[in-house]
Amino acid sequence: MPLVCLTDFEAHAREQLSKSTWDFIEGGADDCLTRDDNIAAFKKIRLRPRYLKDVSKVDTRTTIQGEEISTPICIAPTGFHCLAWPDGEMSTARAAQAAGICYITSTYASCSLEDIVATAPGGLRWFQLYVHPNRQLNKQLIQKVESLGFKALVITVDVPKIGNRRHNITNQVNLTKNLLLKDLGSPEKGNLMPYLQMSPIDSSICWDDLSWFQSMTRLPIILKGILTKEDAELAVKHNVHGIIVSNHGGRQLDEVPASIDALTEVVAAVKGKIEVYLDGGIRTGNDVLKALALGAKCVFLGRPILWGLAYKGEHGVEEVLNILKNEFHTSMTLTGCRSVAEISRDLIQFSRM
């Protein structure tokens, strides 16, 4: 039986993957309230369609950081893709290139950056950085991704400490012993050694440190994990180029707002000065439309990409992306939007559920 929506891929992945892998991918922090609310919050928003508009031609293209993408649906950074499919991130990169969208590669990729770039040389890619306590390592890695043609640096800000992920504790998941990270190295060796295990994340990083990152790279810097107007205003003040509104898929601090609920506050705070994106809870084309109506420039998919990988590798990821793009095209058509620029706040209302 064909898989026709993203929840079909979720069900298939649950059957296909080992329990520990499934729990690692799906698990949230503490009671998983935020993880589940990310999805439920979209269902509290209703659409206000406009009719008798010529929608014989509907264009889903848009731009992010000046680069054109075929649709405002891109791939969020998630680690260890080889847990879902042997080729891991190489399959993901090829699928993103074929779809004409952006793929944010994680610091915790299970394939080398060189292999990811070589397998999809024409793809639009950003790099997500977990800041290492050793500044020299950060500098080496940033210079490496810039030389490899990555187009933006995405700094994750919501992990000064790993959240309380009960499933991982129950399953005694220790990826540092089971998977090899190929892009961090020992500064004493003078180069980026392959196979270094997962390193600690710098819990001391603060706003004033952003100028150090900006001094060493020409890449636009995006902050991932912003949820409040106060931090959004500080991001603008510190001259970053974009924000990804995200609660880390509900995997860090539980009982924070759903991403879609935090989006309005962040968009209002930046006043159009920088681009705002969203990840968390996107499962349908309607969800994409709602996020854009509330001011997101595009959305990023996390878990659904891993479900696609578990199904058929790069072809499974392509299917996930195509299904969501087609749903989004339908949502645009049925609400009277001929282009992404026509998606506005007037298209939605919040229900009294």
Instruction: Please identify which of the residues 81, 132, 241, 248 carries the catalytic annotation.
Output: 248
CB 255 within 8 A of CB 290: no
Q: For 81, which DSSP code?
A: G
Residue 315, C-beta contacts closer than 8 angstroms, at least 6 positions apart = 95
Residue 341, C-beta contacts closer than 8 angstroms, at least 6 positions apart = none
What DSSP element (H or E) covers 102? Answer: strand 102-105
* Residues of the binding site for FMN: 77-79, 106, 128, 130, 156, 224, 246, 279-283, 302-303
Gap between the Cα atoms of 285 and 282, Å rounded: 8
Q: Is 248 a catalytic residue?
A: yes
| Long-range CB pairs of 201-208, under 8 A, 24+ apart, other chains included | 201/130, 201/131, 201/132, 201/133, 201/159, 201/160, 201/161, 201/162, 202/131, 202/132, 202/133, 203/160, 203/161, 204/133, 205/131, 205/157, 205/160, 207/234, 207/238
CB 302 within 8 A of CB 295: no
* Residues of the binding site for glyoxylate: 165, 248, 251
Amino acid identity for residue 308 in this structure: G
Q: Which residues pair with 128 in a beta bridge?
A: 154
Pairing of strands 73-75, 67-69: unpaired
* Residues of the binding site: 77-79, 106, 128, 130, 156, 165, 224, 246, 248, 251, 279-283, 302-303
| Residue labelled with tokens 């892009």 | 183
| Residue labelled with tokens 């001011």 | 295
| Residues noted as catalytic | 248
